[in-house]
A = this chain, B = another copy of it.
């Protein structure tokens, strides 16, 4: 159907579009580690395939078709991550790189089987929603931990930015999806938070960490 390169452009453009109102060639270039002229020509190619609306010097926009294709690739990525964690025993910090490759496997039966064996999961191991077979994806209305107040008790529901180092940091603090924690205090100087959970009495989390944790109250 689509080449590996095309799939990675589509998926990345889709993800960036969920974070920012406007996505430029430069943004996509930086995220993919591919130079701008290359990105421009790929956008023109995807435009001929009716996956992207492309106009010179304008922000990049996926077509409805492009959004659906992208969401289906993300579906394969997240199903894979879930499978690797739940059925194969990998840690949540190990699965992204493998899923980055397996998401390009062309076999609907393979992903349908994963889905079935997992019991049709709605979320991946990092708390992100798994798009359905039609490419529909719904994010629950979570807050960032950094936006919570002193005294709040919240439950961790998802992690933004799933880099291996960040996830290893969370492992070292025994922080995981579903964990309930209470905000003891917020340092006004740097917005770091002191929180308690389980047997941990007073863990300090920097603002950078708190901005990457999504919670529910």
Contact = CB atoms under 8 A, between A and B. Distances in A.
A113 B84 CA distance: 10
A106 B101 contact: yes
Secondary structure of the A contact surface, majority rule? helix
A107 interface: yes
A113 B101 contact: no
A109 interface: yes
Interface residues of A, number: 18
Interface in A122-163: none
B88 A98 contact: no
Interface string A81-93: 0001001111000
Contacts of A97: 107
Contacts of A113: 88-90
A105 interface: yes
A97 B105 CA distance: 10
Contacts of A105: 98, 101-102
Nearest to A110: B98
Contact of A88 (B84, B90, B101, B117): B117
A90 B101 CA distance: 21
Contacts of A110: 84, 98
Contacts of A26: none
Nearest to A116: B89
20 contacts: A84-B110, A87-B87, A88-B113, A88-B114, A88-B117, A89-B113, A89-B117, A90-B109, A90-B113, A94-B109, A97-B107, A98-B105, A98-B107, A98-B109, A98-B110, A101-B105, A101-B106, A101-B107, A102-B102, A102-B105
Nearest to A104: B101
Given A102-B102, A102-B105, 8 more contacts: A87-B87, A94-B109, A98-B107, A98-B109, A98-B110, A101-B105, A101-B106, A101-B107
Contacts of A84: 110
Interface in A39-61: none
